[in-house]
Amino acid sequence: MALVEISHLVKRFTRDAGWFRAGVTVAAVDDISFAIDEGETFGLVGESGSGKTTTGRCMLRLVEPTAGEVRFRGDNVLAFTRSRMRQARRDMQIVFQDPYSSLNPRMRARQIVEEPLIIHRIGRRAERRARVAELFDLVGLNPAHLERYPHEFSGGQRQRIGLARALALNPSFLILDEPVSALDVSVQAQVVNLLMDLQQRLRLTYLFIAHDLRLVEHICNRVAVMYLGKIVEVGPTASLFAAPQHPYTKALLSAIPIPDPDAPRQRIVLDAALIDRGAALKEIAAGHWAAI
């Protein structure tokens, strides 16, 4: 059964008319639907501005969607009251891209990880301390560094702090918004391995928002490709990478630089005229849908 189900999600941003300009409405997310199964890693890829980050934020109601439904374990999250939503957030957490700007520089690492427990009034002080130490251990941080400030950690360690904080409330669903793209190349693989380990140990479900397609191919079970606010193709990773159907997916996959000087290369340049913006998703292979 699907853990998370998105249907007909729409988010429009409106810029009001000013003295010298007309008002504009942009559909950042334009009627998208997908479901994420329990325990799977679902990839969301697309160029910057395609709406993938907005989609993730709408699911946690960090931005309010304009229309549509987000069902989590069958319940429509968008109909929740404030207090019910607060409860739901214990189960759905997000890890942001930039560990340099997403951690409060004035808080110690321990406080950053402990804060969600305080907000949700979980445990006594001593219990919370014990939980924080356990989380530090879980994400591979040295518990001797609990009292340090964010600037005393490297990028990879900071992302581990962000991850420990996200895991503090024992969520079942994590939105990972470009979790390794701000990290040094030699450190990315460590954090990716940690994410894969944690998923197994804690039986987590991931929405993995990324632009590194090699990484998406490696860790995602299924992938959705967004283009200008719409999902233009979705399917099992192997099927989608082997036989992309939508012109944008074809162009995107052919543009991945291959780390092999002798690899044959055939660049497919995106021809916008080939894209039928009104096309509905059609199933072209088992579970593999494309808007062509």
Q: Contact positions toward other proteins, by CB under 8 A?
A: 47-48, 154, 156-157, 184-190, 192-193, 196, 211-215, 217-219, 237-238, 241-244, 249-270
Residue closer to other proteins (CB basis): 123 or 236: 236
When the beta carbons of 98 and 217 are compared against other proteins, the nearer one is 217
Task: Output the smallest distance, CB 130 to other proteins, in A.
Answer: 27
Please give the C-alpha separations between residue 154 and each of 160, 166, 211, 247, in angstroms, as whole numbers: 10, 18, 22, 40
Cα torsion angle, 3, 131, 180, 228, sign: positive
Q: How far is the CB of 285 from other proteins (least distance, A)?
A: 13
CB 28 within 8 A of CB 58: no
Task: Show Cβ contacts of residue 262 under 8 Å, excluding neighbours closer than 6 positions.
Answer: none
Number of H helices, E strands in the chain: 9, 12
Q: The tokens 């559909």 sit on which residue?
A: 27
Instruction: In angstroms, give the least distance from the CB of 126 to other proteins.
Output: 32
CB of 12 to other proteins, least distance (A): 22
d(CA 230, CA 46): 10
The residue among 160 and 165 lying less far from other proteins, judged by its C-beta, is 160
Smallest gap, in angstroms, from Cβ of residue 137 to other proteins?
17
CB closer to other proteins, 38 vs 115 = 38
Q: Are 209 and 175 in contact (CB under 8 A)?
A: yes
Complex with other proteins: residue 91 or 217, whichever CB lies closer: 217
